[in-house]
Structure 1
Amino acid sequence: MTHYLPAEEPVNGLNNDFTEESDAPLGPEEAPKFSEAVLHASDWTVETIVAQLRRRNIDINPRFQRRDAWDLGKKSRFIESIILGFPVPQIVLAEKKGERGKYLVLDGKQRLLSLLQYTGNAEGPRNAFGLSALDVRPDLARKKFSHLEADPDLEGDLNAFNNYTVRTVIIRNWPDTEFLHLVFLRLNTGSVKLSPQELRQALFPGEFSNFADDWAADSRQLQALLGRSSADPRMRDVELLVRSLSFHYFLNDYRGRMKEFLDYSTGKMNDEWSDMEHSIRSAVDQFASACETIINIFGRERAARKADSKSFNRAIFDVLIFYAFDEKIRAGMQGNPEEVVGVYNETVQQSDFVDAIESDTAGIPNTFSRLDIWGSKLQEAVGLSFNLPRLENKQIRFEGFWG
């Protein structure tokens, strides 16, 4: 049985960041369509932004609020900066297709959430928080927005807050989700790199997306693998689940572009939820058991890591979980843990495998290479002969492990 230790982040010094992953580059024929997008910059007051949030014109899904990445000190200093008139980063929004005046958030989610919470218009325990850990205005400590509204002596601070203008960039007529992913991944909020899964959850709402969010948030196995003791605020736990289910169900549809593939599979599982729900729930049970097996065999500090790294590697995890998904293969792994660890240690130092996890990781050749190399090694370790994915006409083909 795996033992999960409650701890502050990160667990045992574990690096819970993903390693960078490359995706197939855009073809030259795709670049012209990006010129169709219209970018408009304006200055919205905080009062206007809060009004847009209250009317749900800016999509801050309540589900995001439980994956809050900022502590109250950082939120408070952001509010203090606004009251003091200090510059704050711009907000980037994308107008929803077919919904004029409704927006997705590409950059600024934590800032918008802080405004929503401070003004008492959010949900959860941080709603209507009092200010704390202030650097310049300690006299505002414990002051809530309601205090600014009620106290005549704080009227100047209230006006400074409401009237502060935030540069807001709005993207309209964007051609496709690939364009938004490209913009999204080029943006940074402080030192925290954004996760494409946050955008995916907004672009593809539905029953599957909600299920994946709920399940991943509560998964002790994913928390252990990522070195966390709570849900990941950037939804990287959700991405691991979605990736694994996507390869499990739709490997034959993979075309070498990971973000495009995950968008496709998420949309498909949302659209076909009524037909796929039972199968998906069963698959997720297998996923949980597979994660447990990987943790027990490799240990949380070595699972899905390169030989010389403590960083979690998604490309390695993809192949580990792909085979561990199968109950018979998983039982073979559990029965031969030392052999599995031995071939794993050899594999992560093998030059062709290293090449496949360090460059063009999303491309079909390297994706197939990882699956083929680890699958072959795993057959030796567990003493089983099962089918491996094969490469045909530059596409990966797979019809199941047995038969």
Structure 2
Amino acid sequence: MKENLDFFELEDEDDSIAPPCDLSLYSQAVLHSSDWTVGTIIDQLERKNIEMNPRFQRRDAWSRTRKSLFIESLILNLPVPQIVLAEKKDQRGRYIVLDGKQRLLSLLQFTGKSETPNNNFGLSGLEIKKDLSRKKYKSLDENPELIDDLNSFLNYTIRTVVIKNWPNYDFLHTVFLRLNTGSVKLSPQELRQALFPGEYSNYIDDYAAKSSSLKALLGNKEPDARMRDVEIISRFLSFQLYLDSYHGRMKSFLDECCEKLNKNWPEIKDEIDKQISNFEDGISLLVDIFGSPSIARKSDSRSFNRAIFDALIYYTAKFQIREAMRKNPVKLKKAYEEIISDDQFLNSVESDTAGIPNTFKRLQLWGNKIQDALEIEVLIPTLVDNRIATR
């Protein structure tokens, strides 16, 4: 799947460093390493002991060629990276995937046990075992001449690390970050969806997957492979509902909001529906006025900046402000050109963006700019005792 969008990653500063944690807690975790055969892993996946539900499977980041080369490596007994799992709390023998999701998904798809468009794919782009080109798993399973390849595949052992008795979510987040320090940094939203399952988590995942406006904003044709689309809606809802309780650490804030909304889903669902409708209308208007390639970008960059978007959608999701924007698109575009050149605003979206001072500053500056440009009254958050107040 082609990645159509660059993300400005520096703004997630509290997601790029290990969260504070009592060092004594680290000794509680138990790490167990073993070599699981591919056959064993597939069996665990089939029995749903390894969390790879349909929503996770929908976030498919690898091309068929990359999947095929992984399968080829297993058949040839070439080294592949380890898989890291965390045993679920109070669910012995059931696991969350911390590292190896795409490899596990490739195994499911190749053996025809997935629920995705790539299910039961034929091998392609092979570099060594070219005799297996276009072959599917069924061919290996049914053709006696390919029995050696089938056995090599199923009997291949993959080092599997299982973390048990982990002390808290910050510990798993630290492990997650350390595992993803390479060139492709995964979104913490993937871990959040696994750690906090529930109706709310399912709701925002389903919404992100079907929203044409959100896809247009991000330049995607499919759900974002790293769940950055889900993170965007999660940030929006958390700010709309709980900005008064924001404490300056984005990762923890989103975790807390997700857990709270899952727990209180029956009571909060109607409000979430209302906010999602405002979010959808807000994105559609921004796309109409600015064009999706220009939204939440600085003038000299094509990278999507979530801190800028947080400020834009915070106000655009409010009906009266949205209607004023719709009637005055030229004034709004001019206001945006001015704010994106403002040194204070730029500083608030480039470093320490999760901190309370800069979170407040960008909301304040953009709110004032809208108010002056559109000549309407805007309810702008205030800073009280180093907390952002909305009332």
TM-score after normalising by structure 1: 0.92
Using a 3 Å threshold, how does the CA distance of structure 1 residues 378 and 34 change in structure 2: closer, same or farther? farther
Contact 1:368/1:389 (8 A) holds in 2? yes
**Contact 1:315/1:357 (CA < 8 Å) preserved in 2?**
yes
Q: Do structure 1's residue 380 and structure 2's residue 372 form an aligned pair?
A: yes
Cα offset, 1:189, TM superposition: 9.0
Check the 8 A contact 1:185/1:195 in 2, yes or no. Answer: no
Query: Match for 2:5: what amino acid?
Result: N
Deviation at 1:26, TM superposition (A): 6.0
Contact 2:293–2:302 (8 Å) recurs in 1: yes
Name 1:135's counterpart in structure 2.
127
Number of residue pairs the alignment of both structures matches: 389
Q: Distance in 2 between matches of 1:65 and 1:118?
A: 13
Any idea what the Cα deviations from partners look like across 1:274-304, whole Å, max 9, x if unmatched? Answer: 1111111111111001111111222212110
How big is the shift at 1:156?
A: 1.2
Do 1:134 and 1:141's aligned partners in 2 also have CA atoms closer than 8 Å? yes
Structure 2, gaps ≥5 residues long: none
TM-aligned CA deviation for residue 95 of structure 1: 0.9
Residue 88 of structure 1 and its aligned partner are, at CA, apart by 0.8
Change (3 A) 1:330 1:55: same
Aligned to 2:144: 152
Q: Which residue of 2 aligns with 1:219?
A: 211
What secondary structure, in the 3-state scheme, does the structure 2 residue paired with 1:23 have?
helix
Query: Given the alignment, which residue of 7, 14, 19 partners 1:23?
Result: 14
SS of the equivalent of 2:349 reads helix
Separation (CA, whole Å) in 1 of partners of 2:92 and 2:21:
29
Alignment match, 2:94: 102
**Identity of counterpart residues, as a percentage?**
54
Cα deviation 1:207-230 (Å, max 9, x = unaligned): 111111111111111111111122
| Structure 1 residue 124 corresponds to structure 2 residue 112 | no
CA distance in 2 between counterparts of 1:283 and 1:346 reads 28
The offset of 1:145, in angstroms, is: 1.9
Please give the root-mean-square deviation of Cα atoms over the aligned residues, in Å.
1.9
Report the more deviating stretch, 36-45 or 350-359.
36-45
Matched, 1:359 2:351: yes
Task: State the secondary structure of the residue aligned to 1:232.
Answer: coil
Deviates more, 1:284-293 or 1:176-185: 176-185
* Alignment match of 2:75 (pick from 62, 83, 92): 83
Structure 1 contact 96–103 (Cα < 8 Å) conserved: yes
Contiguous gaps of at least 5 residues in structure 1? 1-7
**CA deviation string 1:141-200 (max 9, x = no partner):** 122222222222212111111111111121122222122222222323974321111111
The verdict on how the C-alpha distance between 1:141 and 1:190 changes in structure 2, with shifts beyond 3 A counting, is: farther
State yes or no: 1:179 paired with 2:171.
Answer: yes
Q: 1:342 aligns with which of 320, 325, 334?
A: 334
Q: Secondary structure at the match of 2:116?
A: coil
Q: Measured at CA, do residues 379 and 395 of structure 1 come closer, stay the same or move farther in structure 2, by a change above 3 Å?
A: same
1:228 and 1:97 map into 2 onto residues whose CA distance is 35
- Could you tell me how far apart the structure 1 residues matched to 2:337 and 2:88 are? 47
